[in-house]
Structures are given as C-alpha cells and as structure tokens.
Amino acid sequence: MKKIKKIKIKVNGKFSLINDNLSLSIFLKQLKIPLKKVAIELNHEIIDKNKLKKIKLKKDDKIEIVHFIGGG
C-alpha cells in the first residue's frame, strides 16, 4: 500500500499535519467550519470562498479562519 505523504501547515497559529495534495475545501469540511460565518485567509491573502476546491494545500501554508465574536 502506498504511504500517503503528510505535510505540515499552520492553522490559526497552530501546527497541523495533513495529507499532501488536500484541497482547502476538504480540509475546512474536515474541521466542520461553517463557511457562511467565516472568512479565510491563506498566506495573508483572503480566499474567495467559491474557489476553495481549486486550492491545494502546500507545505508551510498558513491558514487563518476568523469569525465575529463579542466586542466593543
């Protein structure tokens, strides 16, 4: 059986080990992120949520997932 290569990425400041060649769309689904309530940044660039499927995650990618919380 072929061993799946793992890559290290950073999500909201924490390291995460994921399968190589994973799309951003599937990764966010695995995290159960409610897409309508968040914004996504990949390597400091805001990602159009309609284009998540086309983006393959690479080693050392930095993802930020943000939402609204209580604040003044």
Partner 1 sequence: MKNDKLVVAKKKFNSRLIVGTGKYRSMSECAKAIKLSGAEIVTVAVRRVNISDKKKPLLMDYINPKKITYLPNTAGCFTSKDALRTLRLARDIGGWKLVKLEVLGDKKNLFPDMIETLKSTEVLTKEGFKVMVYCNDDPLMAKRLENVGACAIMPLAAPIGSGLGIQNTTNIKIIRSQTKLPLIIDAGLGQASDAAIAMELGCDGVLANTAIAKAKKPFEMALAFKNAVVAGRQSFLAGRMDKSIYGNASSPKKGII
Instruction: Enumerate binding residues for partner 1 (CB under 8 A).
Output: 11-14, 31-34, 36-41, 44, 46, 49, 64-72
Of the pair 2, 50, the CB lying nearest partner 1 is at: 50
Of the pair 3, 23, the CB lying nearest partner 1 is at: 23
Q: What minimum distance in Å lies between the beta carbon of 1 and partner 1?
A: 30
C-alpha dihedral sign at 71, 27, 5, 56: negative
Q: What minimum distance in Å lies between the beta carbon of 2 and partner 1?
A: 29
Q: How far apart are CA 60 and CA 50, in angstroms?
A: 23
User: Which residues have C-beta within 8 Å of that of residue 4, sequence separation ≥ 6?
Assistant: 19, 20
